[in-house]
A = this chain, B = another copy of it.
Amino acid sequence: MSELRWDPLKLHWVIIATERGRRPRDFQSEPEPLPVTSCPFCYGNEDKTPPEIFAIRPSGMPNTPNWKVRVIPNKYPALRIEGELENRGHGPYDVMNGIGAHEVIIETPDHDKSMADLAPAELTDVLVTWRTRLLDLRRDFRFRYMILFKNHGARAGASLAHSHSQLIAVPMLPPVATTELKVCRTHYANKERCLFCDLITFELEQGVRVVREFSNFVTLAPYAASFPFELRLYPKRHSHDFALMNDAQLAELAVALKDMLMRVKLVLKDAPYNFILHTCPPMHKRPGKPAMWTSLEYDYHWHIELVPRLTSIAGFEWGTGFFINPTSPEDAALFLREAEV
C-alpha cells in the first residue's frame, strides 16, 4: 500500500509508492523499447493488461481487439482504488494511505502513431473518453481531484512508446490546483470577472504570444512561461469544466489540440513533452466533511498546459521554485505560429 506523507517544510504531500519499491540497481539503466509484438497496448495483447474499464469499440467483447480507444487500470499504480481513507499523525508528521485511481487511456491501436498523427475524428474519441472517465471518477466521494496528463517520449517520463494518456484521482487537492483555484476565487471576489478570461482578452488584443486562434479555442505562449515553448490551449468562452463540453465542442477541440501537437512536433523535431488538463475539481463533499470547493462556475476556466521537455530541472529550479526560461514566449509563439502544419 502506497503512503501519502506530508512534508512539513515544503507544505506538500508526497506519494511514497512502496509497491514499486525501487532499489538502487533499478535506476541504473534506461528501459528498453518493447517490440510491437509484445506491446501490451497493441491489438491481440489485451490479456497482457488488467481488464479494461472502458473502451470505444464498434463491436465485439471487452478485452478483445477492434477497439478505437481503450482504458485500463495502470499495472503499477501510484495509488490503489481499494480501501478507506485513513489520515493520521506520526510524530511531527502526517500520513494518509494511498487511496486513488490510476488509469491509462490507450489513444490508438496503432503502435507507431503519435497523438499528433491521429485524425481529428480519432482525437475526438480520445477526448470523449477523457470526459467519460472524469465523470465516472467524480462519483467516488473519496477523490478530491483528477489529473489527466500525457507524457510523450522517454525523457518526458513515458515508460511505453505506444501513445497513451493517464488519469490519476487523488484524495486531496494538489498544490498547483489549490493555488490556481484560490487565485481565481480572489480575482472573482474582487472584480466579478474570471482571471483567465481577463488574461485571454489581453492576449488576443496583444497578439504577440498567440500561436493559433480557432472559433472557440486559442493556443498561446503564456507571458511568464516557465519553460521554453510552453503552451496553453484555452476555450475562448468562459467554461470552468472540461467535462461539460459537448461532442461538437470536443470535435473542435480535437482540431485545436492536433494543431498544437503538430506545431510542437514540427518545430521542435518531435521533442518529448508533457501536457496536463486543468479542470475544476469535483464539487461533492465527503460524508461528514465540509465541501472544499463549491460554485466554481464563475471563477475557474479549464485549459490544457503543454510543456516540451527541452531543458532539465536542475538545482536552481528545485531549490528556489524559480524557473529560468532561455526562450522568450514571444519568440516561441513566433516560431510556432509560422510553422506550416
Taking Cβ atoms with an 8 Å cutoff, the residues of A that contact B are 5-18, 20-24, 27-28, 78, 90-93, 145, 147, 149-151, 155-158, 166, 168, 170, 174-177, 179-180, 183, 195-196, 198-199, 202, 206, 222-226, 228-229, 267-269, 271, 274-276, 278, 305, 307, 309-316, 318-329, 331, 335
Asked if A315 meets B183 with Cβ closer than 8 Å, knowing A9-B195, A27-B268, the reply is: no
A53 to B208, CA, bound (A): 40
A252 to B240, CA, bound (A): 56
21 inter-chain pairs at a CB distance below 8 angstroms, sorted by A residue, are A8-B183, A10-B179, A13-B224, A14-B324, A17-B326, A21-B331, A24-B267, A24-B269, A27-B311, A90-B223, A92-B198, A93-B224, A147-B320, A149-B319, A155-B312, A166-B316, A174-B321, A176-B318, A274-B314, A274-B318, A276-B319
A12 to B180, CA, bound (A): 12
Q: A21-B326, A24-B268, A78-B316 given. 10 additional CB < 8 A pairs? A: A7-B223, A9-B180, A9-B183, A9-B195, A14-B224, A14-B325, A27-B271, A27-B311, A174-B319, A276-B315
B274 touches A315 (CB 8 A): yes
A10 to B93, CA, bound (A): 26
Q: Please give, as numbers and ranges, the residues of chain B lying within 8 Å of A174 by CB-CB distance.
A: 319-322
From B8, B22, B176, contact of A321 by CB (8 A): B176
A176 to B327, CA, bound (A): 24
A12 to B305, CA, bound (A): 16
A145 to B316, CA, bound (A): 12
From B78, B151, B320, B331, contact of A175 by CB (8 A): B320
Interface centre among A151, A267, A313 (most CB of B within 10 A): A313
A199 to B91, CA, bound (A): 9
From B10, B147, B202, B223, contact of A316 by CB (8 A): B147
Q: Which residue of B lies closest to A175 (CB)?
A: B321
| Shortest Cβ distance from residue A299 to the other chain B in the assembled complex, whole angstroms | 12
Q: Please give, as numbers and ranges, the residues of chain B lying within 8 Å of A331 by CB-CB distance.
A: 21, 23
B157 touches A325 (CB 8 A): no
Q: Which residue of B lies closest to A156 (CB)?
A: B314
A93 to B223, CA, bound (A): 8
| Shortest Cβ distance from residue A301 to the other chain B in the assembled complex, whole angstroms | 10
Interface centre among A155, A328, A335 (most CB of B within 10 A): A328
B16 touches A328 (CB 8 A): yes
A318 touches B307 (CB 8 A): yes
A92 to B187, CA, bound (A): 11
From B24, B275, B316, contact of A149 by CB (8 A): B316
| Shortest Cβ distance from residue A211 to the other chain B in the assembled complex, whole angstroms | 14
Q: Which 3 A-B pairs have the closest CB atoms?
A: A157-B314, A276-B319, A149-B315
A179 to B8, CA, bound (A): 10
| Shortest Cβ distance from residue A17 to the other chain B in the assembled complex, whole angstroms | 5
A320 to B148, CA, bound (A): 10
Asked if A157 meets B327 with Cβ closer than 8 Å, knowing A307-B318, A321-B174, the reply is: no
From B8, B313, B316, contact of A313 by CB (8 A): B313
A20 touches B318 (CB 8 A): no
A20 touches B320 (CB 8 A): no
Interface centre among A150, A156, A195, A316 (most CB of B within 10 A): A316
